Chains A and B, each alone.
Chain A
Amino acid sequence: MLTFNQVHFYYKKGHSIIEDMSFTVHPGEFVAIVGANGCGKSTIAKLMNGLALPKQGTVKWNALDTSNQSELADIRRQIGYIFQNPEDQLITTTVRDEVLFGLENIAVPRTEMDQRVLEALQAVQMESYIDAEPHQLSGGQKQRVAIAAILAMRPHMIIFDEATSMLDPQGREQVLHIMHTLHQQGITIVHISHHMDEVLTAERVLLIDQGRLIFDGSPHSFFTDIAVADYQLQVPFAVRIHHQLQLAAPVATDWKEAIRRQWSINSNR
């Protein structure tokens, strides 16, 4: 369980980036965090695993406090972080070494390493690339290796910080698929994104505006109650269609199914 308690953050006093933010992420949830450019959503992600520390208030993972230097290692073992730029988070010269890096950091015994590396790469379907070098991989493949490198550490929660925004449609598809698979396996997912269609498949949406938490609820209420354009966000196709065609089914990504069903209902009357 991750808790933000009255968190304030700024680089310079007077220029607040995060204002009085409080919320909890529960185990097993799939939470999307959205907001305009510069609203602070990336900073929230960094506050979650101690890459940034609150100026006031606390960020806690279960009983561990990010402001406590000695507890950071434990927090980072349990909370994984996938960054936006696939290139800049691969540190070593081969895929195997990349996945090993985290394992060495958390002092996993040498005898367990090979097994954990293989499992992690299999989970992202990259096991055949185990000896490949980073510059031989596509953007989507690099992100998958980064995910494997985190998975090997057996995290309870993974933060995806705009992890799909630099990928082509294929790569994006691959990463989203893995995200949902991991969620089904019980890993808590925090997904920061500006792709509104990705929000639809989340369980919970947090809307950030100028460092404040404005909305916390289901995707359905988000697209119904909030005028997203006011926050410089785009309405996804599924929602646009939903409104235009006045679909009876709740807002969902599977608009095709909703249309087919409604059409056949109308045909059968």
Chain B
Amino acid sequence: MVYQLQQVSVRYQDHDVLQDIYCTIEAGKWISVIGQTGAGKSTLVQVLKGLVDVRKGEYLFNNQTVAKDAKGQIQVRPEIGYVFQYPEHQLFETTVAKELAFAPKQQRWTASEIKQRIEDILPQVGLSEDILELVPFQLSGGQKRRVALASVLMMNPQVLIVDEPIAGLDPVGRTALLQYLHQWQQQENRTVILVSHHLDDVAQYSDEVLLLHQGRLIGQYDPVTLFIEQSHLLEQSGLVLPESIQLLKLIEQCSGQKIEIDSCREHDILAKILPIWHRKEQTFG
């Protein structure tokens, strides 16, 4: 499964929000989209979902131009799930069960299909069956967010776009949510596209990173290439390196030697750094 944007431009009012975007999204990977506020990250992923019209350029799926509907707009892709920032702001039903059933009903699933899917989903997002008859508005913030996430997962998406999913969450909630998404992605072998400001999360989970700056795609990289070899690109785009990468560069500076890493995960970086550090301590300790 391959999604491709070719020379895509998106206009809003009088200026181009995205210009000449060329990128390829392949199945089964965790792809993060980063850039300053206003760089066009949300617009980019909304094009993928089909929520935004392109002014110029092609949107291809498996090498075929994505169909347009009667009004000439790109079709909303149902196999792509999209979780907005503050997803709890879309809840409206009188019970959680009805909220979860909303999207499948639009796609004309049968009642038994919906019921079965709910039963599968709930444990996955860490909610129990007691929640089904509760009113969504009475839930805690964290529970609401999980219900909103579950309502998107109900459609069993092949690709899941999460737009700043941890906004406003405390660090523990944030870790839990990201770990859950990672688990889901690995277990079900799906694609996750994460839009985020938190570069440490991006370093931790991504297979690929798309860097946007002022509506242009600076490049599509694997984390090591971007954070280690091309870190100046991040600075130029107004972003700050993850602290673990800053630590790595500091130790490289102090020791005068280049440290080879094959992953940007904090755990892996520390594993490379600690021997060097302790060696230094021991030699003179």
A–B contact, 8 Å CB criterion (strictly below): yes
Residues of A within 8 A of B (CB): 36-38, 138-139, 165-166, 168-170, 194-196, 232-234, 237, 241, 244-246, 255-256, 259-260, 263-264, 266-267, 269
The contact string, 1 if C-beta is below 8 Å from chain A, for chain B 136-155, is: 00001110000000000000
Report whether A194 and B274 are in contact in the complex, using a CB–CB cutoff of 8 Å: no
Report whether A259 and B250 are in contact in the complex, using a CB–CB cutoff of 8 Å: yes
Which residues in B have their C-beta under 8 angstroms from that of A264?
254
Distance to closest chain B CB from A101 (angstroms): 26
Contact of A169 among B240, B246, B247, B284 (CB under 8 A): B240
Q: Which of B100-108, B117-125, B166-174 contacts A (4 or more CB under 8 A)?
A: B166-174
Report whether B171 and A244 are in contact in the complex, using a CB–CB cutoff of 8 Å: no
How far is it, in angstroms, between the C-alpha of A168 and the C-alpha of B35 when the chains are bound?
A: 11
Q: Is B126 an interface residue (CB 8 A)?
A: no
The contact string, 1 if C-beta is below 8 Å from chain A, for chain B 251-270, is: 10011000000000000001
Q: Which residue of A lies closest to B249 (CB)?
A: A256
Report whether B246 and A256 are in contact in the complex, using a CB–CB cutoff of 8 Å: yes
Give the contact-size bracket for chain B: 20 to 34
Q: Is B244 an interface residue (CB 8 A)?
A: yes
Contacts A233-B172, A241-B247, A256-B250 known; list 14 others, CB within 8 Å.
A37-B142, A138-B37, A165-B168, A168-B197, A194-B170, A194-B171, A233-B171, A234-B175, A237-B244, A263-B255, A263-B280, A266-B280, A266-B281, A269-B284
Q: Could you jot down 8 A-B contacts, CB within 8 Å?
A: A36-B172, A37-B141, A169-B239, A237-B200, A244-B270, A246-B281, A263-B254, A266-B281
Which residues in A have their C-beta under 8 angstroms from that of B171?
194-196, 233-234
How far is it, in angstroms, between the C-alpha of A234 and the C-alpha of B176 when the chains are bound?
A: 12
How far is it, in angstroms, between the C-alpha of A196 and the C-alpha of B170 when the chains are bound?
A: 10
Report whether A36 and B246 are in contact in the complex, using a CB–CB cutoff of 8 Å: no
Report whether A244 and B274 are in contact in the complex, using a CB–CB cutoff of 8 Å: yes
Distance to closest chain A CB from B46 (angstroms): 18
How far is it, in angstroms, between the C-alpha of A263 and the C-alpha of B273 when the chains are bound?
A: 13
How far is it, in angstroms, between the C-alpha of A264 and the C-alpha of B274 when the chains are bound?
A: 17
Q: Which residue of A lies closest to B36 (CB)?
A: A170
Contact (A37, B250) CB under 8 Å given A170-B36, A170-B37: no
How far is it, in angstroms, between the C-alpha of A127 and the C-alpha of B104 when the chains are bound?
A: 51
How far is it, in angstroms, between the C-alpha of A255 and the C-alpha of B277 when the chains are bound?
A: 14
How far is it, in angstroms, between the C-alpha of A169 and the C-alpha of B243 when the chains are bound?
A: 13
Report whether B250 and A260 are in contact in the complex, using a CB–CB cutoff of 8 Å: yes
Contact (A232, B168) CB under 8 Å given A168-B37, A244-B270: no
How far is it, in angstroms, between the C-alpha of A196 and the C-alpha of B250 when the chains are bound?
A: 22
The contact string, 1 if C-beta is below 8 Å from chain A, for chain B 274-285, is: 100100110111
How far is it, in angstroms, between the C-alpha of A225 and the C-alpha of B277 when the chains are bound?
A: 25
Which residues in A have their C-beta under 8 angstroms from that of B238?
170
Distance to closest chain A CB from B174 (angstroms): 8
Report whether A260 and B36 are in contact in the complex, using a CB–CB cutoff of 8 Å: no
How far is it, in angstroms, between the C-alpha of A196 and the C-alpha of B172 when the chains are bound?
A: 11
Distance to closest chain A CB from B279 (angstroms): 10
Q: Which residue of B lies closest to A193 (CB)?
A: B170
Which residues in A have their C-beta under 8 angstroms from that of B255?
263
Which residues in A have their C-beta under 8 angstroms from that of B140?
38
Which residues in A have their C-beta under 8 angstroms from that of B277?
245
Q: Which residue of B lies closest to A195 (CB)?
A: B171
Contact of A166 among B142, B168, B284, B285 (CB under 8 A): B168
Report whether B243 and A232 are in contact in the complex, using a CB–CB cutoff of 8 Å: no
Which residues in A have their C-beta under 8 angstroms from that of B246?
256
Which residues in A have their C-beta under 8 angstroms from that of B168?
165-166
